């Protein structure tokens, strides 16, 4: 689905009014009349279309540039708490009142030196209609690292595609949901993870505490390296949707939504299945997916991983896909 900018600018006011006034009325009717039923199918379609219509490649680009401008986001660097606080403040500025730093300790050896350091995941919550023990997660790691031949990550590690793109995806989903006054059935947790590059530390910590608290998840969506796509021809805009033994159905549903709401093509190549933050959730029995651009990124873990090498229109399509899945699962 792709509407022209002109068509969209004409339709937006109507759609915005519709969304602000009519949809809450429909929701109230649905809640009063048949609270155990699914909302009508076309309501989810309207919501997904409105969210997709609000996604802006420029807004994603601005967030990637901002993350890149921090110089380094290496998780052993002194600014690691500052990075997390800055991301939390971004959620607060969008209107998210429930945000927190989720701290945990790591013990690692890096280039022959041992470190015991506090780390900080960032968690922002969009409250649901029902406040129960169920949630959905959209996440991405906010740290970066350099290969040993590429330099010293304590000084510089820009990580635009890896993984400012994932963080910007999470922020953009949060922005368009807030802007459209979207209320999910149960709460959505927007999480950016610390210390992924040192062994998925942030997602191991959060998935363990989620399982301990018997949190039920409708889905966990992980975005890692979702802005590298060197092709102008959209026929070659391919996202790899990685799944796990328990999430094949979730992936098939995601593929249907990708056809409906995005111009993305997709593949399912699970070779990186264990190499990002969705994996610890799958180990805890949660249904998780991992989105990554299909084209191999030649700038991976080098100082050339900068926003100039990113394709933000491609990333915007990945944002639309995340939105549609979260709406579908709620
Ligand atoms: Zn990464």
In a domain, 191, yes or no: yes
Inform me whether the pLDDT recorded for 28 exceeds 70: no
Tell me what percent of the residues of the chain surpass a pLDDT of 90: 88
Q: Helix, strand or coil for residue 142?
A: coil
Distance 24 CA to ligand 1 centre (A): 38
pLDDT digits (tens, 9 = 90+) for 214-240: 999 999 999 999 999 999 999 999 999
Gap between the Cα atoms of 131 and 112, Å rounded:
47
Distance 125 CA to ligand 1 centre (A): 23
Q: What is the pLDDT of residue 220?
A: 98
Distance 181 CA to ligand 1 centre (A): 31
Model confidence at 93, pLDDT cuts 50, 70, 90, reads very high
Q: Which of 316, 323, 324, 325 is nearest to 293 (CA)?
A: 316
Distance 16 CA to ligand 1 centre (A): 36
In a domain, 17, yes or no: no
Inform me whether the pLDDT recorded for 189 exceeds 80: yes
Which CATH number covers residue 313?
Answer: 3.40.630.10
Beta partners for 123?
Answer: 100, 191
Distance 166 CA to ligand 1 centre (A): 8
Gap between the Cα atoms of 322 and 9, Å rounded:
23
Within 8 A by CB and 6+ apart from 327, the residues are 44, 47, 48, 51, 182, 184
Q: Which of 299, 247, 253 is nearest to 273 (CA)?
A: 247
Domain count, the chain: 1
Q: Tell me how long the chain is.
A: 330
User: How far does CA 136 lie from the centroid of its chain?
Assistant: 11
Q: Helix, strand or coil for residue 100?
A: strand
pLDDT digits (tens, 9 = 90+) for 39-75: 556 999 999 999 999 999 999 999 999 999 999 999 9
Q: What is the pLDDT of residue 26?
A: 38
Distance 144 CA to ligand 1 centre (A): 7
Distance 157 CA to ligand 1 centre (A): 12
Inform me whether the pLDDT recorded for 35 exceeds 70: no
Model confidence at 4, pLDDT cuts 50, 70, 90, reads very low
Distance 228 CA to ligand 1 centre (A): 12
Distance 283 CA to ligand 1 centre (A): 19
Q: Taking the CA of residue 157 as centre, how many other CA atoms within 13 Å lie in the half-sphere pointing to its CB?
A: 27
Task: Report the predicted TM-score, pTM, of the whole model to 2 decimal places.
Answer: 0.88
Gap between the Cα atoms of 142 and 194, Å rounded:
6
Distance 227 CA to ligand 1 centre (A): 12
Q: Which whole-number Å values give the CA distances from 12 to 137, 197, 211, in the listed order?
A: 29, 41, 41
- Residue 167 backbone phi and psi in degrees, to 5: -65, -45
Distance 225 CA to ligand 1 centre (A): 6
User: Domain containing 324: what range?
Assistant: 41-329
Distance 36 CA to ligand 1 centre (A): 39
Q: Helix, strand or coil for residue 157?
A: strand
Distance 174 CA to ligand 1 centre (A): 20
Q: Taking the CA of residue 322 as centre, how many other CA atoms within 13 Å lie in the half-sphere pointing to its CB?
A: 36
In a domain, 8, yes or no: no
Six-digit token string for 97: 């009142």
Model confidence at 37, pLDDT cuts 50, 70, 90, reads low
Q: What is the pLDDT of residue 39?
A: 55
Inform me whether the pLDDT recorded for 77 exceeds 80: yes
Q: What is the pLDDT of residue 38?
A: 59
Distance 311 CA to ligand 1 centre (A): 17
* Sign of the dihedral defined by the CA atoms of residues 87, 89, 94, 95, in that order: positive
Six-digit token string for 90: 């971004």
Distance 43 CA to ligand 1 centre (A): 35
Distance 275 CA to ligand 1 centre (A): 8
């Amino acid at each position: 689905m792709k509407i022209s900018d002109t068509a969209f600018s004409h339709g937006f006011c109507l759609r915005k009014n519709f969304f602000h006034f009519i949809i809450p009325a429909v929701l109230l009717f649905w809640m009063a009349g048949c609270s155990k039923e699914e909302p009508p199918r076309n309501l989810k379609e309207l919501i997904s279309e409105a969210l997709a219509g609000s996604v802006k490649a420029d807004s994603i680009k601005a967030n990637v540039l901002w993350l890149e401008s921090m110089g380094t986001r290496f998780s052993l660097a002194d600014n690691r708490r500052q990075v997390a606080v800055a991301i939390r403040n971004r959620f607060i500025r969008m209107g998210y009142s429930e945000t927190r730093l989720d701290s945990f300790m790591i013990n690692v050896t890096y280039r022959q030196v041992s470190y015991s350091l506090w780390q900080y995941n960032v968690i922002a919550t969009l409250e649901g209609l029902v406040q129960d023990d169920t949630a959905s997660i959209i996440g991405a790691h906010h740290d970066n690292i350099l290969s040993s031949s590429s330099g010293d990550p304590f000084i510089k590690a820009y990580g635009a595609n890896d993984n400012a793109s994932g963080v910007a995806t999470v922020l953009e989903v949060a922005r368009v949901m807030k802007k459209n006054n979207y209320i999910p059935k149960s709460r959505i947790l927007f999480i950016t993870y610390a210390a992924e590059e040192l062994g998925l530390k942030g997602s191991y910590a959060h998935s363990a505490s989620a399982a301990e608290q018997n949190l039920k998840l409708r889905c966990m969506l992980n975005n890692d390296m979702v802005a590298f796509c060197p092709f102008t021809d959209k026929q070659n805009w391919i996202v790899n949707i990685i799944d796990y033994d328990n999430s094949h159905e979730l992936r098939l549903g995601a593929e249907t939504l990708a056809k409906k709401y995005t111009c993305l093509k997709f593949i399912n190549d699970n070779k990186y299945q264990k190499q990002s933050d969705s994996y610890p959730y799958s180990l805890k029995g949660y249904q998780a997916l991992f989105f990554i651009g299909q084209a191999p990124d030649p700038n991976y873990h080098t100082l050339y991983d900068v926003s100039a090498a990113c394709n933000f229109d491609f990333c915007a399509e990945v944002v639309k896909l995340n939105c549609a899945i979260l709406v579908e699962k709620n």
